[in-house]
A and B are shown apart, each in its own frame.
Chain A
């Protein structure tokens, strides 16, 4: 069982106030005064104050982790409230760090909260990590996950990992001496666009709660040096089936970062590593586009335009512009429903899926097909403000 040797509980003491606050911890032999002092002396950095970061920070703060760091550059969005429970309706538009800090100070004013209003990058990660004992990864994209992993291995800090998608989650503890790192499991990232983000794939609101608290549990166990850590195990959570499975993870001796002969000893350009050049492009280059105003003009003028909606049926029910619905995944099978002699405008929610549809149709020989730039969201913004956005 790996313990964190940098935590020096002997230098910490508990006031009477703290003893009362943490009494439910203190009366358990697994924690006791010794364990609570370890928690107080511990320094944990949470990357991300969103879905996973919310429960992570809330529970670690409540538990009395002495120094809690949070890194996030983002602002609270209305769509975050469905799952990022550290933020409230009144916080929409505020910096996530300010919102999180308010709630954490209210729950436990006795902890030392350090906020970092910055985007984690190869330029700042190593310096940031050095002041903490454990890193909890609550980020939402592949480049940052590889960055966090590599920085953890290089600085020798455990990486308590959690990730989610729709209703499935993963959790583990990477980058310990004896255990694997993230690259041992996934040496290469998927090509951009192959694995959707939460905004594109959706996510069950409770899921980051489930996985985030599992992460918080693992952080606390590492600090206390108690229980069986998820080092060397990948916990798979299927919330719909409510099944928890475990896979064995091994340290890869050939791992370029944590193996016996590491070839990566410095942080790299992670966007390049993940195949993302410059701005993360959601629209494929070279796809012919049409703006929502132009489509409206053509439809109002009675021009012959075939509107193809490539979203899913449940999205069509939220709102639609009367397009012919063929979900993107079904397009190859149902392409014969389309007439290549007609002008076709393909749309989805934001323009990303429809760009793929246009690409596919052009490769199938369709010459008169355009992508509706910005999708139905742009239509709701600029053409029909009464249309709901989602």
Chain B
């Protein structure tokens, strides 16, 4: 099953897991399955209108899905979906 990598800042909303396996044929389906299973993740990934938030990037393996078919990008059994949010820590 395709795996979704959960970044550290969001793991607390996904039952503290670093990765979640979701049965899905597209990236959109996989993310939808993820937030159905972990509803607290929804507001961190999606706006109220149901659009993916702009400070969250989604990658299929190592490609940004914005440059593929976005949420319609097809997903294979062995694929890895990564959620990459912006982090800012550095000095303080």
Contacts and interface: CB of A to CB of B under 8 A. Distances in A.
Do A and B actually bind? Answer: yes
Contacts of B54: 186-188
A208 B82 contact: no
A109 to B, nearest CB: 25
Contacts of A189: 55, 86
Given A187-B54, A250-B64, A197 B59 contact: no
A51 B89 contact: yes
A142 interface: yes
A247 B68 CA distance: 14
Most buried by B among A84, A190, A236: A190
A329 interface: yes
A199 interface: yes
B86 A51 contact: no
Interface string B74-92: 0000000010111111111
Contacts, number: 112
Most buried by A among B64, B67, B82: B64
Nearest to B16: A329
Given A165-B8, A186-B54, A250-B64, A142 B13 contact: no
Nearest to B80: A245
A328 B47 CA distance: 22
B7 interface: yes
A163 interface: yes
A194 B44 contact: yes
B91 A249 contact: no
Contacts of A141: 88
Interface string A27-54: 0000000000000000000001111110
Contacts of A170: 87
A164 B7 CA distance: 12
Nearest to B61: A247
A80 B92 CA distance: 7
B82 A165 contact: no
Nearest to A246: B62
A80 B85 CA distance: 25
A140 B88 contact: yes
A226 B59 CA distance: 29
Given A187-B54, A248-B63, A249-B64, A195 B9 contact: yes
A48 B87 CA distance: 16
Interface string B46-69: 000000011101010011100100
A52 B92 CA distance: 9
Given A186-B55, A189-B55, A248-B62, A163 B84 contact: no
Contacts of B12: 329
B55 A190 contact: yes
A189 B12 CA distance: 20
Contact of B92 (A74, A246, A250): A74
Contact of B57 (A51, A186, A198, A329): A186
Across chains A and B, which 10 residue pairs bring their CB atoms closest together, nearest first? Answer: A50-B91, A188-B54, A48-B91, A165-B87, A140-B91, A140-B90, A190-B55, A186-B86, A52-B90, A140-B92
19 contacts: A49-B91, A50-B91, A51-B91, A51-B92, A139-B90, A140-B89, A145-B88, A163-B89, A185-B57, A186-B54, A188-B54, A188-B55, A190-B85, A195-B85, A195-B86, A201-B89, A241-B18, A247-B59, A329-B40
